[in-house]
Structures are given as C-alpha cells and as structure tokens.
Amino acid sequence: MSGWRAAQFAPVFFGLFCGAVLSTASASAQMALPSPKPVDGATLFKQQCGVCHTMSSAEPMRQGPPLSKVVGRRAGSIEGFRYSAGFAKADFAWDEAKLDAWLSNPQELIPGAVMAYRQAKPDVRAAIINYLKDN
C-alpha cells in the first residue's frame, strides 16, 4: 500500500524538486553576472589625470597645472605654469561644458594645446568633472 503511494507521488516530488533547483540555479546565475562598476570620479581622476595633475598647489607641479578649484577659474591662470600659446587667447572660465569639450578633445577647444589626453566616454568625463566641481 505504501509502496503504491510512493510511486504515485514520486513524480510530483521530483517535479517540485527540479523546479526548486532550476529556479535557484537561474537566480544564482543572475547574481553571478558582473555588476556594473560604480563610476567614482576620485578614482578616475587618480588613474587618468593624476600622472600629470595634482589637486593641490602645495605639491610640486607635474606636466600639467594643479586642478584644485579649477571649475570657475580662468583658463590658463596658474602662476608659474608655462601654458602653450593657444591659452593666451582662451578667454573663458572653466565650467562643465568647457571641461567636457576639453576632455573630449583638448586641441579642438584650444588649438595647439599640449595635453596628451582624450576621453571618448561621456559618463567617464561627467564623473571626473563632478569630482573637479567638489574639489
């Protein structure tokens, strides 16, 4: 009698078991997908600008001028830094739009600029510019 019952219910249990395994398997497969990296402006700045720029005028200058408080500052206005000739005609203060254009293609904004850097990704530029606004 009990053997008959077991035979009747076994497929049901088997089905439930498989369903449970499959659903946990697909849940963990989803969790295993690489989560998108948060774009951290400070880290990006360190990695992509830090070789040439400091964030403090107290530190010795590198290849480029220090960038602390650059948002709102007139282009080419760091005393003692020898800018390329085009900066003499750069009659503007750095804001988000100018920085975005500069990081996309420095030479297009200021002809003859000698900054060897270009960033094609808008989200990376935005994260770095946000960091500059706060520092």
- Positions touching ligand HEC (CB under 6 A) are 48-49, 51-53, 63-65, 67, 70, 75-76, 78, 83-84, 87, 94, 99, 102-103, 113-117, 119, 128
User: Of 42 and 52, which has the nearer Cβ to ligand HEC?
Assistant: 52
Q: Which amino acid appears at position 126 of this protein?
A: A
The least CB distance from residue 131 to ligand HEC, in Å, is 8
CA-based torsion, 22, 23, 28, 30: positive or negative: positive
Contact 135, 57 (CB under 8 A): no
The least CB distance from residue 19 to ligand HEC, in Å, is 51
User: Of 26 and 63, which has the nearer Cβ to ligand HEC?
Assistant: 63
User: Of 21 and 123, which has the nearer Cβ to ligand HEC?
Assistant: 123
Q: Indicate the burial class of 114 (C-beta count within 10 angstroms; 0-12, 13-18, 19 or more).
A: middle
User: Of 42 and 78, which has the nearer Cβ to ligand HEC?
Assistant: 78
Q: Would you state the torsion angle of the CA atoms of residues 14, 15, 16, 21, taken in this order, to the nearest 10 degrees?
A: 90
The least CB distance from residue 84 to ligand HEC, in Å, is 3
The least CB distance from residue 36 to ligand HEC, in Å, is 20
DSSP assignment of 18-64 equals HHHHHHHHHHHHHHHSPPPPP--HHHHHHHHTTTT--S-TTSPP-SS
User: Of 20 and 74, which has the nearer Cβ to ligand HEC?
Assistant: 74
The least CB distance from residue 34 to ligand HEC, in Å, is 24
